[in-house]
Structure 1
Amino acid sequence: MYSTSNQTVINLTFKGFVILFLLSSCSSSRMPYFKDLVQNEPLDQSFHALVVRDPSSQEVLYSHNGDRYFTPASNTKIVTLYSGIKLLPNHAPALKYNARKDTLYFEGTGDPTLAHPYYKEQTTLTFLKDYKVLYWVPNNTSEDRYGPGWAWEDYDTYFSPEKSELPIYGNVVTTWKDSSRHLLPEYFKKDLKSETNKFRRAEFKNDFYIPEHRTDTLEIPFIIDEALTLNLLEEVLNMRVYTVNQFPEGPKQTLSGIPMDSIYKRMMHKSDNFLAEQILMMASSTLTDTLSTRTAINHMLEHYLNDLNTQPRWVDGSGLSRYNLFTPKSFTTILQKLYNEVSHDRLLTLFPMWDETGTVEHWTHSEIEPFIFAKSGSFGNHYNLSGYIKTSSGKLLIFSMMNNHFRVPSSQIRAEIYATLKEIHRSY
């Protein structure tokens, strides 16, 4: 438990950001870089940053540790969002295919919506059912099932599904119980065991452990291989699907799927790691026939992010990896690009609302309108928030507030972030 005095120090530290911000905004158009912020126990052993930017003038108004590297966690999804907007069309590339009369050859593009429990996507299924003979051309990816630096013990958790070229059902088993146990897809019913286990799935086998008393909805990743994907595809189509090693001669066409904004919005609002990873795989499908997260990342760094103040270390789409390193100034630069290139109404729809509790679906503060539209990013001892803040004067500002290596409860960090941003909202 942390003492009242320690909590006071936290308050002073973050309020220091606000005070310096407000004093500087009154005296100068550019806020000074200030090193001597209060850094006492317990914050003297942790790492914090705040950068505030005016997108109209593109001026950095305030920067504390803005050029330092931080582990971004799910703030990485902001970069994934920008990558999708730059590299993908308005509708998801659902499949690449070559049609020969009543025969269709097709391959995956990484589109995550096929039979997804949330999207209930039918475009691809309807298209495939229009042909009498289906040939799937698999293995058009260089991806490992997990990203570099992911935690191995998360293999049974909802936020860590495997990546794949032709995802189906979101690459998870969804189960819930009312009068009976339900399973989607039902293909795995034979693999369901009504017992308690430390993990919800065997590490190297699709055996699932759900005790009888669990009635809530659970999502458990399944292990993907070519044979399983083929079986699930045949089950959902109710028709035979064959595999073949290569396409016939001739150009490939691309099937348009659902609007990308519906994928972006769920990725950002739900912090959906699976969607984030598959967005980068889809993005690579516009650059090469071999799906590769690294190809998409390298292309973005070379062509659209080559003006960042410091070169990031960027390894995945979701931010699950602790290998990722970005600076707060880099995030404000990317947020500036989004501000410049995306309509503001659309942009603030893609970014979720946020308050001291975290991301919120419904705004409950009757005394004030929503004013923070931002993506959070957290795992143990890390909490970051980057996005846009509406001020009481009608100004829209960009900010990135990153906090790494703290030992206080993250709820305290969230509360102080909110207090800081609320003061900026009120005073600027």
Structure 2
Amino acid sequence: MKTKILNTIFTLVLCLATLEAADAQTKRKISKIFKASEIVNNHYTGFALYDPVKEKMIYELDANKPAIPASNTKLITLYTALNMLGDSIPGLRYITKGDSLIFWGTGDPSMLHPDLNSTKVYDFLKNSGKKLFYSHSNASSEFVGSAIYTIAMVSLPIGVNNAQAYAGSDGKVRLKPEFLNAYLKLDTSYRPRSFTVQRDERTNTFSYPAMSMPADFTQTVYLVPGAELTQQTLSEVLGKPVNVISMALPVSAKTIYSIHADSLYKRMMLPSDNYLAEQILYLCSSTLPGPLSIETAIEHSSKIYLTDLPDLFQWRDGSGLSRNNYFSPRSIVKMLIKIRDKIGDEQRLLNMFPVGGVSGTLRTAFKTDNGVPFVWAKTGTLSNVRIQGGYLVTRKGKKFIYSFMNNNFLVPSADISNEMVRIMTMIREKY
């Protein structure tokens, strides 16, 4: 009996030793790949490779050091939304009083968005048969003119919160929505290099130069959010009057849900849509007491959902446009683990990520293996910043979770992107 027990213990110890030796060998081989790279050794490169079966890191390179994550910030936004929102997106809060329908936005960006096929809120307002009153009282965030917020922070977005400037059939510059043409003026002091429409820094007033306009001229102009813009845009698209009222959102207000949440998240993740990312985080704050606020959502998520990240972090926005976001590769890997565990279903999880050689921001980055993809990852791109974070399946069927972060490089960005693809493909082939 003792002999059997001793043999069993010996076998277990031998197996563990063999596994440890294999992991050590893998670590050495991956280390050689990075040391041999002429590119990743000339700037900050952070890398973390995690084995979800063994629940351990296989290889780390400066993985504890914070870096600008760019659009990998959307992973944190996604995880926050998965926790704070349900299966369907809350599109509108409302009450009825006699012949009046009073409503508040939630920050939901799906209404009449060209890529989301969401008409439930529109249909509800269009067919209510009541006088419509919009309250802006729960929208505390004001437009401040920064690059981050010019395309977001709208309590009741319609479409994608922008205007289209175009050459009209009469040869004059026009704006759509049509009501904005009342705020479009000639400015002889405005002298751009080519014909463009300019929006005032803080208001939805527009000017164009005294110069020839191309016959095929088109331009997208982002709008300054506010009660008046929502009122006028809604009135135009609904074809009926919408009034503005100042009324606090009551606890008893009912909710209209718009679209399935995964549809919104996928649209944010695959093309890396900055507008949707900011709005989703703004939308998350609608589930908390008080006015809508990205800062409130970040504070809540950081205190409730992100306390187990391995390294200190700094989080400033939903999209990753801010260069004041800082997360380490280890923290990005932890976020990917948390997202996987929260979603539960692997196919649902992978459907939300760009697929190497197939879709989204990785459509042209990787080559599939005879049509079979092996990388599902979120990219991140800013000047001097290139990031990948996601899930990898090797040729032997092993599954890894990884974060690959590059900051402060001076070589062409395409060289960095290509090197990330080369290294991840090597890991795919060898392990």
Report the 3-state secondary structure (helix = DSSP H, G, I; strand = E; otherwise coil) of the residue aligned with 1:118: coil
AA matched with 1:53: Y
Going from structure 1 to structure 2, the CA distance change for 1:48 and 1:203 (only over 3 Å counts) comes to farther
Please report how far the alpha carbon of residue 185 of structure 1 lies from its aligned counterpart in structure 2 after TM superposition: 2.2
Going from structure 1 to structure 2, the CA distance change for 1:172 and 1:348 (only over 3 Å counts) comes to same
The equivalent residue for 1:346 is 348
The equivalent residue for 1:97 is 94
Going from structure 1 to structure 2, the CA distance change for 1:126 and 1:316 (only over 3 Å counts) comes to same
Report the 3-state secondary structure (helix = DSSP H, G, I; strand = E; otherwise coil) of the residue aligned with 1:270: coil
Tell me the TM-score normalized by structure 2: 0.82
Q: Is the 8 A contact 2:164 2:219 kept in 1?
A: yes
Determine which structure has more spread, i.e. the larger CA radius of gyration.
2
Going from structure 1 to structure 2, the CA distance change for 1:144 and 1:310 (only over 3 Å counts) comes to farther
Report the 3-state secondary structure (helix = DSSP H, G, I; strand = E; otherwise coil) of the residue aligned with 1:290: coil
Q: Is the 8 A contact 1:284 1:296 kept in 2?
A: yes
Going from structure 1 to structure 2, the CA distance change for 1:224 and 1:304 (only over 3 Å counts) comes to closer
Per-residue CA deviation, residues 44-76 of structure 1 (Å, 9 max, x unaligned), is: 552111101112232111110100010111110
State the percentage of identical aligned residues. 34
Q: Is the 8 A contact 1:29 1:61 kept in 2?
A: no
Q: Where do residues 330-409 of structure 1 align in structure 2 (5 Å cutoff)?
A: 330-342=331-343, 343-354=345-356, 359-361=361-363, 365=368, 367=370, 369-409=372-412
The equivalent residue for 2:177 is 185
Q: Where do residues 234-273 of structure 1 align in structure 2 (5 Å cutoff)?
A: 234-247=235-248, 251-273=252-274
Aligned-residue CA RMSD (Å)? 3.3
Residue range with higher mean Cα deviation, 160-169 or 241-250: 241-250
The equivalent residue for 2:108 is 111
Please report how far the alpha carbon of residue 360 of structure 1 lies from its aligned counterpart in structure 2 after TM superposition: 4.0
Please report how far the alpha carbon of residue 43 of structure 1 lies from its aligned counterpart in structure 2 after TM superposition: 5.5
The equivalent residue for 1:132 is 130
What is the distance in 2 between the residues matched to 1:90 and 1:163?
22
What is the distance in 2 between the residues matched to 1:351 and 1:214?
39
Please report how far the alpha carbon of residue 26 of structure 1 lies from its aligned counterpart in structure 2 after TM superposition: 3.7
The equivalent residue for 1:168 is 158
What is the distance in 2 between the residues matched to 1:340 and 1:138?
37
Q: Is the 8 A contact 2:138 2:249 kept in 1?
A: no
Please report how far the alpha carbon of residue 169 of structure 1 lies from its aligned counterpart in structure 2 after TM superposition: 2.3
Going from structure 1 to structure 2, the CA distance change for 1:176 and 1:411 (only over 3 Å counts) comes to farther
Q: Which runs of 5+ in 2 are unaligned?
A: 1-19
Per-residue CA deviation, residues 380-418 of structure 1 (Å, 9 max, x unaligned), is: 111111111121122221110000000111111111101
The equivalent residue for 2:16 is none
Report the 3-state secondary structure (helix = DSSP H, G, I; strand = E; otherwise coil) of the residue aligned with 1:354: coil
What is the distance in 2 between the residues matched to 1:146 and 1:49?
34
Please report how far the alpha carbon of residue 355 of structure 1 lies from its aligned counterpart in structure 2 after TM superposition: 5.1
Count of equivalent residues? 398
Report the 3-state secondary structure (helix = DSSP H, G, I; strand = E; otherwise coil) of the residue aligned with 1:359: helix
Q: Is the 8 A contact 1:382 1:405 kept in 2?
A: yes
What is the distance in 1 between the residues matched to 2:114 and 2:228?
21
The equivalent residue for 1:17 is none
Q: Is the 8 A contact 1:297 1:314 kept in 2?
A: yes
Please report how far the alpha carbon of residue 110 of structure 1 lies from its aligned counterpart in structure 2 after TM superposition: 0.3
Please report how far the alpha carbon of residue 122 of structure 1 lies from its aligned counterpart in structure 2 after TM superposition: 1.6
What is the distance in 2 between the residues matched to 1:323 and 1:393?
39
Q: Is the 8 A contact 2:394 2:428 kept in 1?
A: yes
Per-residue CA deviation, residues 259-311 of structure 1 (Å, 9 max, x unaligned), is: 11111111111111110011111111111241111221122111111000112
Q: Where do residues 165-244 of structure 1 align in structure 2 (5 Å cutoff)?
A: 165-174=155-164, 184-190=176-182, 197=192, 200-204=197-201, 205=203, 206-207=205-206, 209=208, 212-213=213-214, 215=216, 218-244=219-245
What is the distance in 2 between the residues matched to 1:25 and 1:268?
38
Q: Is the 8 A contact 1:123 1:257 kept in 2?
A: yes
Q: Is the 8 A contact 2:46 2:63 kept in 1?
A: yes
2:10 maps to 1:31: no
Report the 3-state secondary structure (helix = DSSP H, G, I; strand = E; otherwise coil) of the residue aligned with 2:402: strand
What is the distance in 2 between the residues matched to 1:394 and 1:404?
31
What is the distance in 1 between the residues matched to 2:33 and 2:369?
37
Report the 3-state secondary structure (helix = DSSP H, G, I; strand = E; otherwise coil) of the residue aligned with 1:288: coil
AA matched with 1:372: V
Q: Is the 8 A contact 2:34 2:40 kept in 1?
A: no
AA matched with 2:158: I
Q: Which runs of 5+ in 1 are unaligned?
A: 1-23
Q: Is the 8 A contact 1:95 1:107 kept in 2?
A: yes
Please report how far the alpha carbon of residue 367 of structure 1 lies from its aligned counterpart in structure 2 after TM superposition: 3.5
Report the 3-state secondary structure (helix = DSSP H, G, I; strand = E; otherwise coil) of the residue aligned with 1:306: coil
What is the distance in 2 between the residues matched to 1:282 and 1:248?
15
The equivalent residue for 1:427 is 430
Q: Is the 8 A contact 1:357 1:414 kept in 2?
A: no
AA matched with 1:31: K
What is the distance in 1 between the residues matched to 2:288 and 2:167?
43
Please report how far the alpha carbon of residue 120 of structure 1 lies from its aligned counterpart in structure 2 after TM superposition: 4.8
Report the 3-state secondary structure (helix = DSSP H, G, I; strand = E; otherwise coil) of the residue aligned with 1:135: strand
AA matched with 2:141: E
What is the distance in 2 between the residues matched to 1:312 and 1:331?
10
Q: Is the 8 A contact 1:52 1:397 kept in 2?
A: yes
Q: Is the 8 A contact 2:82 2:342 kept in 1?
A: no
Per-residue CA deviation, residues 225-284 of structure 1 (Å, 9 max, x unaligned), is: 322221111111122222222148661111111111111111111111110011111111
Going from structure 1 to structure 2, the CA distance change for 1:94 and 1:54 (only over 3 Å counts) comes to same
AA matched with 2:192: N
Residue range with higher mean Cα deviation, 213-222 or 325-334: 213-222
Please report how far the alpha carbon of residue 184 of structure 1 lies from its aligned counterpart in structure 2 after TM superposition: 3.8
Q: Is the 8 A contact 2:357 2:367 kept in 1?
A: no
Residue range with higher mean Cα deviation, 375-384 or 27-36: 27-36
